[in-house]
Structure 1
Amino acid sequence: MTTLLRRLGRDTLYVLVSFPLAVLSFTVVLAGLATSLGLLVTLLGIPLAVLTLLVARGLAVVERARLRLLDGADPAPAGHRRPTVGGWRGLLQRLRDPQSWLDVLHALVAFPMAVLTFVVVVTWWSVALFGLTYWVWVRVLPPDEGEGLAWLLGFDQPWAETVLTTLVGVVFALTLPAVVRGCAAVQSGLARLLVANPALAGLRREVSTLTASRAAVVEAGTTTLRRLERDLHDGPQQRLVRLQMDLAAARRRMGDDPAAADLLVEEAEVQVQETLSELRALSRGIAPPVLTDRGLPAALASLAGRCTVQVTLDVALPDGTRLPDAVEEAAYFVVSEALTNVAKHSGARTCTVHLWRDGTGQEPQLHVAVEDDGVGGAHPAKGHGLAGLRDRVGGLGGTLDVQDCPGGGTRLEAVLPCA
């Protein structure tokens, strides 16, 4: 009973307060929109329209707070887009915010709904209280002349008016919680649809995630391309220029100084070997043909064969399994970068690469884990070599985790959705 009365009080207060708030919102927002539309040709309408949106946004904040008090649950976040620039462009970005216009729509549509629910709730409360207390204060009323409820129904007894009015009050009192709850549900449902919609909040989060993933992919690709261009310019290109100069000098000395020419040719051979080594190192940032032709397991076997540390492959994929190209390339680069770090920095003697596919969740996922017995200390923060891997994996909606093993060494695990 206490819970029912508390619920009835909250619903009644919510509906009654909705009416003056709806009047205020409707008046201010409609006046702001009309004035800004009239001043639009003078450009003063744009800041006034933005101010109107901000007022509607503030009223929506109040409505979400009222929803929290009504149900005790946090409503969905508003999800307004923040302008990324200032000045007129920032004002235009605010005008393109969809949630701001939903706030405006709520301020306009909630007014007739608030009037209707206010009238219904006040009427139900008035009739219930009037009927239940009629037998008390009817004694002080002047006697009627047969135009009451009993007279309309054809009853002539003096007590009939009191009994019928009390029965009507009982009926309205019994239905009062349901009617008030329905009015509050209609009013709050409209608010949840426009200013606190969990479905819209979920879509906004998904769009934000996809936008961040796209930015991460673009950033990772741009970073890789710039590094490749810089390394080609600073390494193989310079060596090839020197190689050309050495060969030209050797050809000039071939006739008069064969010994010096032989020395230049030997130096040219060294330059060729160093250039080939640098080109092989740079090719780690490019997907090899074996990955495209034979698949991920064969490409990982090729990586393991070139690594200077003993590598054990644990591939739990059926023979002939092919995954999406982007997933295979990301997994390949994760293992390639991890093995490079193991060989250069970890001081490890052995390393194990695990590869398996997990299809128990909502979508199949590819797990790639690289473990070593080195000194540990790897970190995927900005400024470290693994930061680009995190961006690449995150661009596909995956995760990259780096942990120090209890007995020493590092475990790097990437999880890639492969649906």
Structure 2
Amino acid sequence: MNQNPTAALPGATLSPAAPDPLAVAPVSAPATSVLAQLGRDTVFLLVSLPVALVSFTVLVTGLSLAAGLLITVIGIPVAVATLAAASALATGERWRLERRGSPLTPPRPPRPRRRDRGLRGMLALLTERDRWAEVLHGISLLALALLTWSVAVTWWAGTLGGVTYWFWSRWLPTSTPDDANVTLVELLNLPITESQLNLLFGILFAVTLVPVLRGCANLHVLWAQTLLTVTSRRSLTLQVEDLTARRVAAASAEAQSLRRFERDLHDGPQQRLVRLGMDLSVAERRLDRDPAAARELLGQARIQAAEALAELRALSRGIAPPILADRGLEAALAAIAARSASPTTLDVDLGAGARPTAAIENAAYFVVCEALTNTAKHASATSISVRIHATTTPSGTRVLRVEVEDDGVGGADLAKGHGLAGLSDRVAGLDGTLTVDSPAGGPTRLRAELPC
């Protein structure tokens, strides 16, 4: 397990470090944040125009070609290919907005996999309104990008050109009395020089640079939010269906776990306890007549009690232990790692954030328990590694990542009928994901991600 080498010992106190008089004061966090956002907005707006040109060209060409070939069957796959291109471009736009710091919310739910193939499947794709919304976004983006790109270039040119006019104006051609050119200072008869006027313009552009560029970038966010997120009734219906399927899967996994626990309890400890009671009854009747036989039966009863206790301990791994609620996930996992049949290393780092919810802790605990049980039964592994880290995704979602890896023979599978199938449903019920990489010959790597 990870241990913090700087953790204070019990009873010890840490005195605050004395300030260094020679240390340079860092730039304030708000100023750094504003400059960083200005840089992201600038890059986003300058890249928008070439992206919009590519998007407009590809989609208009594809739609025109599909419309021209619509009289033949070839027009349908061309239209489907155009929709696929629009979807790819929309994914790129979502990525650009996420990098800018404005992830689209709510996210688009995953599209269901269609079983229809051929012409029927293509026609079904052409009826999806979300895909046509992506086409509309890709085509209309050019007009918005032209506007915002022009504003961004104008404001940056005004800022840099006005502030530095005093330096580069010396290389400008000087006017003569015969020239008809009149400067703005001469036209308005201002009591300042041309350099001072340009400096004022430069300061004005510089002061308004951050809000203007942020407003232009927010226009892109608003337009993408309108067309590329879950706004239609059909999309909301798909999302509700997906959540319902996850809930049913989680309930089915819980019911299956209870049935398996009941079967294992009936076939294992219950049978041994019944035999234990019978052996004790026989030993009690023979205690006076045949002490040696009674002693032998008592020995067998002791063995039955030990075996029943071992089986009860094994079954208890399928139930959240009290230590999980009292001392947390790390202590609970340390206990089951110590009882593992193979040498197990544990690395837990939950970060400095709040403790995961009870449902997430239970799911992570059961993932590790099931993985260790599956390894002990089928993998013939000599070492197991368990890693649990809390991390934050680029979109700002906190995720608990659980990884269990062994050097066994491999062959683990999430398909129905395997031991890990119910575990996958349990994780999916919490809006998480479970993947298994287990080639023949090993190693096996199980990875679960649970939003916390």
- Report the TM range for the smaller structure's normalisation: 0.5 to 0.7
Residue 410 (structure 2) pairs with residue 410 (structure 1): no
Q: Aligned AA for 2:289?
A: D
Q: Which runs of 5 or more structure 1 residues have no equivalent in the other structure?
A: 11-60, 76-191
Distance 1:320 1:294 in 2: 16
Aligned to 1:385: 419
Residue 339 (structure 2) pairs with residue 306 (structure 1): yes
Residue 398 (structure 2) pairs with residue 347 (structure 1): no
Q: Which runs of 5 or more structure 2 residues have no equivalent in the other structure?
A: 1-59, 68-122, 138-225
Post-superposition offset of 1:202:
2.4
Q: Aligned AA for 2:426?
A: R
1 or 2, which has the higher helix percentage?
A: 1
Which of 201, 208, 227 pairs up with 2:234? Answer: 201
Which of 360, 368, 384 pairs up with 2:402? Answer: 368
SS in 2 for 1:357: strand
Distance 1:410 1:261 in 2: 50
Distance 1:207 1:66 in 2: 17
Aligned to 1:257: 290
Q: Deviations over 1:60-85 (max 9, x none)?
A: x99x869899999499xxxxxxxxxx
Q: Deviations over 1:371-417 (max 9, x none)?
A: 11122111111010100110100111111000137994111000111
Which of 324, 327, 345 pairs up with 2:357? Answer: 324
Distance 1:302 1:248 in 2: 37
Q: CA RMSD in A?
A: 3.3
SS in 1 for 2:436: strand
**TM-score (normalised: structure 1):** 0.53
Post-superposition offset of 1:228:
1.1
Residue 431 (structure 2) pairs with residue 400 (structure 1): no
Distance 1:365 1:70 in 2: 33
Which of 236, 241, 261 pairs up with 1:228? Answer: 261
Look at both structures and tell me which one has the larger radius of gyration over its CA atoms: 1
Q: Aligned AA for 2:411?
A: G
1:373–1:409: 8 Å Cα contact kept in structure 2?
Answer: yes
Change (3 A) 1:71 1:257: closer
Post-superposition offset of 1:270:
0.9
Change (3 A) 1:67 1:417: closer
Change (3 A) 1:330 1:246: same
Change (3 A) 1:272 1:69: closer
Post-superposition offset of 1:198:
4.5
Distance 1:388 1:70 in 2: 38
Distance 2:445 2:385 in 1: 9
Change (3 A) 1:409 1:66: closer
Aligned to 1:219: 252
Distance 1:377 1:332 in 2: 23
Residue 328 (structure 2) pairs with residue 295 (structure 1): yes
2:411–2:442: 8 Å Cα contact kept in structure 1?
Answer: no
1:346–1:409: 8 Å Cα contact kept in structure 2?
Answer: no
Residue 303 (structure 2) pairs with residue 270 (structure 1): yes
Distance 2:430 2:442 in 1: 30
**TM-score (normalised: structure 2):** 0.49
Post-superposition offset of 1:211:
0.4
SS in 1 for 2:344: strand
Change (3 A) 1:245 1:362: same
Change (3 A) 1:394 1:66: closer
1:398–1:417: 8 Å Cα contact kept in structure 2?
Answer: yes
Distance 2:287 2:427 in 1: 55
Distance 2:127 2:448 in 1: 41
Distance 2:240 2:429 in 1: 13
Residue 357 (structure 2) pairs with residue 357 (structure 1): no
